[in-house]
């Protein structure tokens, strides 16, 4: 009888932007499942404690590195340190990302470039550098973080929406280009998820969060996204590549994230 294999034990996974929020949940979930994780953020004092917690409690080991994913040389050093520590890279989760809210006509060229740089160009840097290790080795798996705002119109987030939409096309393209290298490339598009940044915007405290068992809720937990990422990294997703998995609870017409944020 067939038994599904969601096991990630023994894999080495890089998770970018893991000092808080969804990235932290992904790193902790993969490590709890036995993967070794290399985590980064722009501030070692913020991401270091995440790795310390993993090393204390999880089955897998963690390495924390200060790395600004917009900077190619820092990404190269991060991946090099990961290989030195763990010997290989099996999975890359391009999670680091962010935005600010502004009407299109108010976005300066500098503001536009900074969001495209953070969301899209960083994905290019990390994927090319970590992908090289995978291509020279036994292949691997890449999971990109898009957003429902990359799938639908997102008023007052045009820079973010455009960069997250581009990530979906990049995912599909690389899935074809790197299939012969044994690399699967998939994408997750979350709806609204409670993270420190979003909590600040909406004023939702973690003790007000509806439990995960509640299907009809407007906001997700980081773990809702992390569990799907674990599935995509695991052998159970062996026949999935080039896909974008939307994780947003009950499918409602339009872009419920924009509505919830009061941006429509
Ligand atoms: N939360 C949502 O509702 C939601 C919905 C859809 C998609 N997403 C996507 O999911 C991902 C995570 O979102 P989140 O809400 O968890 O974000 P968040 O709470 O703002 O956390 C962002 C993380 O990225 C790190 N980071 C930011 N800039 C970085 C850089 N240049 N280099 C390295 N690390 C950097 C931050 O760490 P430091 O500040 O310590 O550098 C932090 O750990 C993003 O790509 C976001 O677009 C989120």
- Give residue 212 CA to ligand 1 midpoint distance, Å: 21
Give 161-229 as a 3 state SS string: HHHHHHHHHHHHHHHHHCHHHCEEEEEEEECCECCHHHHHHHCCCHHHCCCCCCCCCCCECHHHHHHHH
- Please list the pLDDT of the chain residue by residue as tens digits (264 residues): 999 999 999 999 999 999 999 999 999 999 999 999 999 999 999 999 999 999 999 999 999 999 999 999 999 999 999 999 999 999 999 999 999 999 999 999 999 999 999 999 999 999 999 999 999 999 999 999 999 999 999 999 999 999 999 999 999 999 999 999 999 999 999 999 999 988 877 777 777 889 999 999 889 999 999 999 999 999 999 999 999 999 999 988 777 777 777 776
The angle formed by the CA atoms of residues 164, 255 and 188, to the nearest 5 degrees, is 40
Q: Out of 3.40.309.10, 3.40.50.720, 3.40.50.2300, 3.40.50.970, select the CATH number for domain 12-260.
A: 3.40.50.720
Report pLDDT for 63: 99
Which atom of ligand 1 lies nearest, measured to the CA of 190? 6
**Which residue of the set 78, 86, 160, 178 is catalytic?**
160
Report pLDDT for 172: 98
Helices then strands, counting H and E runs in the chain, come out as: 9, 7
Predicted TM-score (pTM) of the model is 0.98
Query: pLDDT of 169-208, one tens digit each?
Result: 999 999 999 999 999 999 999 999 999 988 877 777 777 8
Report pLDDT for 221: 95
Report pLDDT for 124: 98
Ligand 1 lined by 22 (C-beta under 6 Å): yes
CA distance 229 to 245: 10
Locate the domains of the chain by residue range.
12-260
- Give residue 95 CA to ligand 1 midpoint distance, Å: 6
Ligand 1 lined by 63 (C-beta under 6 Å): no
- DSSP H or E segment with residue 72: helix 72-86
Which atom of ligand 1 lies nearest, measured to the CA of 220? 3
Residue with tokens 């159970």: 236
- Give residue 4 CA to ligand 1 midpoint distance, Å: 31
Which atom of ligand 1 lies nearest, measured to the CA of 196? 19
Ligand 1 lined by 133 (C-beta under 6 Å): no
Best CA proximity match to 140, nearest among 13, 4, 7? 13
């Amino acid at each position: 009888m067939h038994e599904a294999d969601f096991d990630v034990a023994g894999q080495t996974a890089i998770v970018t932007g893991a000092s808080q929020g969804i990235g932290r949940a992904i790193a902790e979930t993969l490590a709890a499942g036995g993967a070794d994780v290399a985590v980064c953020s722009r501030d070692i004092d913020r991401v270091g404690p995440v790795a310390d917690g993993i090393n204390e409690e999880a089955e897998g080991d963690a390495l924390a590195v200060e790395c600004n994913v917009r900077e190619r040389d820092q990404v190269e050093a991060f991946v090099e340190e990961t290989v030195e520590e763990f010997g290989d890279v099996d999975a890359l989760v391009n999670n680091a990302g962010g935005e600010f809210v502004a009407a299109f006509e108010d976005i300066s060229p500098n503001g536009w470039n900074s969001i495209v740089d953070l969301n899209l160009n960083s994905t290019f840097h990390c994927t090319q550098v970590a992908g090289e290790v995978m291509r020279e080795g036994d292949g691997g798996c890449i999971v990109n973080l898009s957003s429902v705002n990359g799938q639908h119109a997102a008023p007052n987030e045009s820079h973010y929406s455009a960069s997250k939409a581009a990530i979906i096309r990049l995912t599909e393209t690389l899935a074809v280009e790197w299939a012969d290298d044994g690399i699967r490339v998939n994408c997750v598009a979350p709806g609204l998820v409670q993270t420190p940044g979003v909590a600040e915007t909406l004023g939702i405290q973690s003790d007000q969060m509806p439990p995960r068992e509640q299907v009809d809720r407007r906001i997700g937990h980081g773990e809702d996204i992390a569990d799907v990422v674990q599935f995509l990294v695991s052998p159970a997703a062996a026949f999935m590549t080039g896909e974008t998995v939307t994780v947003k609870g009950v499918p409602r017409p339009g872009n419920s994230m924009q509505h919830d944020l009061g941006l429509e």
